Structure 1
């Protein structure tokens, strides 16, 4: 009985570890990066990842989506520059369609490049639902 119980516990542990390794999106959503005074988290690829990232929203004061075309297809791997008063305060590649930022209060220009086309939006802190949109 001891060996059966021990084997079951070992199997459960191995299964839990495998799920962790096979589901990197779940852990990636919680990863917060820093660039100067800016903290940011991007993701949202897959339903679980999106839910985990959206649960983090209260920790941030600015958010934006990256979409393409009239249907608003989600984009990922978009190089982003965050500018405040003309100065770049953060630069990163967004690994999903939704990014949240924690920045000092003010107005920011978010600039992204997709298929060699630059788009930009200007947003105020407090806005967590802005859209950086490319046409096809």
Structure 2
């Protein structure tokens, strides 16, 4: 009698389990990275992404929200964050209405551009806790 192992079947089951676990994250437009030593995450399109980003917010000390004047969330907002000397800390296009950043404590200028509209906000990022900035276009 031949000795058949279950190795191929086990590998197939492991692959299936990995796919099932990853399935909820497929199609998400979350963008995470680091620029100039500043960690960031952006996204929030749809209920799943919004929930994920809201749960991640505690790990970042600057939270930026972009929405239309009537309250609908917007994406593809050009955001630039500059330190008190005007040096760029972060520059990107959002993948959704939320942008989270982990910055050194200090004073920053946050510029946002959506379509033809441009806005700026000054924000103080504290050494503990966080700061929030909202833009309505």
Q: TM-score normalised to the size of structure 2?
A: 0.76
Structure 1 residue ranges (4+ consecutive) displaced by more than 6 angstroms after TM superposition: none
- TM-score, structure 1 normalization: 0.77
SS in structure 2 of the partner of residue 129 of structure 1: strand
Structure 2 unaligned runs (5+)? 1-8
RMSD: 2.7
CA contact under 8 A between 2:124 and 2:131: conserved in structure 1?
A: no
Number of equivalenced pairs: 126
Where does 1:1-136 land on structure 2 (aligned, <5 Å)? 14=16, 17=19, 20=23, 23-25=26-28, 28-29=29-30, 31-69=31-69, 71-85=70-84, 86-126=86-126, 127-134=130-137
Residue ranges of structure 1 left out of the alignment (5+ in a row): 1-5
Q: Larger Rg: 1 or 2?
A: 2
- Cα distance in 2 between the residues matched to 1:16 and 1:37: 32
